[in-house]
Amino acid sequence: MQKDPDNWHSTIKLVMADITTLEVDAVVNAANNSLLGGGGVDGAIHSAAGPELLEECRGLCGCPTGEARITRGYGLPARFVIHTVGPIWSGGDNGEDDLLRNCYRNCFALAELHDIKTIAFPAISAGVYGFPMERACRIALREMMSYLEKKNVDVIAVCFSKRALWCYQVALQDF
C-alpha cells in the first residue's frame, strides 16, 4: 500500500513467499532466546544461510524476548538477518502485545542503524509461539506504518499461508 503523497516511496507490501528467497537488505528471523536455531522460519533461515550464520549467532550469547540482534546473511540473498525473539502466547494478559511491539521497534532500530532500505518480516510469534494471527498482524502493521512515517524504506510483510495473507488484509482495512 502507498503511504502519504509526501512520502510516496514508502510502502508495505504483502507478499506470499518463503522469506529465505527474498532479495532484500534484511530479513527478520523469528528466533528463540538462544539464537541457536530451531524450527519454522528460524530453521529455514539457518539452513539457507549455512553454518556460518550459526557460528556468528553463537557469539551473540542469546537475546531477551522483545529485543533484536543483527548478523550477516551468508548464503541468503539478504545482506543481513535481524533476529528477534517474539513472546510465547499465554492468554494475552502477560505483556504479549507489548513484547511483540518491541520486537518490531527493535528490528527497525537496527535497520536504521545499518541503513537498511528493504526489510522483510515473517509474522513474528504467530507460528510455534501461538500468538493469534489476526492480532499479531494488526500489531505488525501498526509498527510498520509508524516506522514508515519517519523513514523512506520498503517493508515486506511475508505471508507464509493464505490465512496470514487474509489476516494482514483484514488488518489493513482498520487503517
Contact flag: residue 127 with ligand AR6 (CB under 6 A)? yes
Minimum distance of ligand AR6 from residue 4's CB (angstroms): 29
Contact flag: residue 125 with ligand AR6 (CB under 6 A)? yes
- In this chain, which stretch among 32-40, 106-114, 141-149, 166-174 interacts with ligand AR6, using CB under 6 A? 32-40
Catalytic residue among 6, 25, 42, 98: 42
As beta bridge partners, residue 84 has: 30, 68
Q: Identify the DSSP state of 88.
A: P
| Residue 103-122 contact track with ligand AR6, rule CB under 6 A, x = bound | -------------------x
42 is catalytic: yes
137, HSE (Cβ side, Cα atoms, 13 Å): 24
Number of residues interacting with ligand AR6: please give it, by CB under 6 A: 25
Rounded-to-integer distance, Cα 151 and Cα 132, Å: 28
Minimum distance of ligand AR6 from residue 72's CB (angstroms): 19
8 A C-beta contact, residue 89 and residue 136: no
Rounded-to-integer distance, Cα 2 and Cα 59, Å: 39
Q: Which of 3, 7, 14, 40: binder of ligand AR6 (CB under 6 A)?
A: 40
Q: Of 65, 114, 105, nearest to 88 (Cα)?
A: 65
As beta bridge partners, residue 158 has: 15
- In this chain, which stretch among 6-14, 15-23, 92-100, 138-146 interacts with ligand AR6, using CB under 6 A? 15-23
